[in-house]
Chain A
């Protein structure tokens, strides 16, 4: 089988037997896939720190007939996010990005825009040490690129225009809800104006959004709402989300 070269972000790794690892990778040219890194658990492994979560690497990979998993032939490190993740707050935020990408992106579907998004978000976190703004930007664009961003002007259940009426959101629903459609556990969504501002900011690149206009509290509320939407689409709870709320 021919070797294929691609850039990739390591989303996570699992142990395989005593010496190997399975890496979940988001590759630029082949989409999200899983591959075996032979000998990666050994102390003298040629991979060293390359397979640590969120490493940006170039790898040479090949596929074998009748095997689900690809095999990594060799790799080189392009950019490391190892030191950034020494800070527990940034580690949680970065691994939230990894978990969402791992669960949200379809397997073997090339998505260059999502790849650039993840990389830009990680670089912003590394440079600024900030988490709220990059995560809001990540959530918004991932939902939009996936085609799951709802129309915030209409009730997601009945389609009625929401105008200035009170709006609600609840776990498991894929957008905002009107008074009539809200389930008993729904929460009043008070951040509509902030949401509109954030959506406007997200139209520019992340480096152009200075974040001075929004307080951390404002951003957190909008982020929570986006996270609810992501969980509603995944139909499962994210493991990293409760930890993100604690830091």
Chain B
């Protein structure tokens, strides 16, 4: 005899495919949905379908958007001469939350990671180079993650872009705000010293 009725088992199986959801969590969500009203379940199903049907990549910056070009690329108030390069659309949100950056973005959709089979060909670099060759951009800020993959991507980009005469900068790396030097490892401390600035 099966543990669950077929539709419920299928729902649990589908939920288990989501990142961070294991068997137990999938069961909990499935039973929650089973108890929910039909309207509530339909709202969730509609939201998933809408996101899949309506969201596409911006043809200029590769951000996830409903309209093409996206709202960042079409906003005339933003500084058109500075582009911030990030790995993923949610990294873009992190930069945007600072409210200190008013330029444009470019999403690579990954970083150079040989262990995951990601090389330069797999990154969204082609339209970045086309944008830069347009001649309007004077600075490119590389905001890839502060890990081996992000660093390799930043250096790769800098080698590719500097010959175009564009200033390439890298976000600072080092000690996180609120932590203590005592607990910093050598790599983090070294990066903090390398990235020091005059005050």
Cα separation A116 to B117 with both chains bound (whole Å): 27
Shortest distance from the beta carbon of B149 to any chain A beta carbon, whole Å: 8
Interface residue? B13 (CB, 8 A):
no
A88/B116 in contact, CB under 8 A: no
Q: Which of B166-192 contact A (CB under 8 A)?
A: 176, 178-179, 183-188, 191
Cα separation A18 to B186 with both chains bound (whole Å): 25
Partner of B114, one of A17, A18, A91: A91
The segment out of A46-54, A152-160, A205-213 that lies at the interface is A46-54
Q: Which of A109-130 contact B (CB under 8 A)?
A: none
Shortest distance from the beta carbon of A104 to any chain B beta carbon, whole Å: 14
Contacts of B188 in A (CB 8 A): 48-49
Partner of A95, one of B114, B155, B185, B187: B114
Number of B interface residues at 8 Å Cβ cutoff, please give it: 26
Partner of A239, one of B20, B115, B151: B115
The segment out of A61-69, A78-86, A176-184 that lies at the interface is A78-86
B187/A82 in contact, CB under 8 A: yes
Shortest distance from the beta carbon of A231 to any chain B beta carbon, whole Å: 15
B155/A86 in contact, CB under 8 A: yes
Q: Which of A154-177 contact B (CB under 8 A)?
A: none
Partner of A77, one of B115, B186, B191: B186
A91/B112 in contact, CB under 8 A: yes
Interface residue? B156 (CB, 8 A):
yes
Contacts of A92 in B (CB 8 A): 114, 119
Interface magnitude class on chain A: 20 to 34
Contact with B along A6-17 (1 / 0, CB 8 A): 000000100001
Q: Which of B122-157 contact A (CB under 8 A)?
A: 147-148, 151-152, 154-156
B119/A243 in contact, CB under 8 A: yes
Cα separation A88 to B114 with both chains bound (whole Å): 9
Cα separation A44 to B154 with both chains bound (whole Å): 23
Contacts of A99 in B (CB 8 A): 114-115
Cα separation A46 to B179 with both chains bound (whole Å): 10
Partner of B152, one of A17, A49, A55, A85: A85
Interface residue? A87 (CB, 8 A):
yes
Least CB separation from A43: chain B residue: B176
Cα separation A76 to B117 with both chains bound (whole Å): 29
Identify 7 new A-B residue pairs, CB closer than 8 A, beyond the known A46-B183, A52-B147, A87-B155.
A12-B115, A49-B147, A52-B187, A77-B187, A82-B151, A86-B155, A87-B152
Instruction: List, sorted by A's number, 12 A–B pairs whose CB atoms are closer than 8 Å.
Output: A44-B179, A49-B188, A52-B148, A52-B187, A82-B151, A88-B152, A91-B148, A95-B113, A95-B115, A239-B114, A239-B117, A246-B119
Where the two chains meet, the residues of B that have a C-beta atom closer than 8 Å to any C-beta of A are 20, 112-117, 119-120, 147-148, 151-152, 154-156, 176, 178-179, 183-188, 191
The 5 closest A-B pairs by CB, nearest first: A49-B187, A48-B185, A95-B114, A48-B188, A239-B117
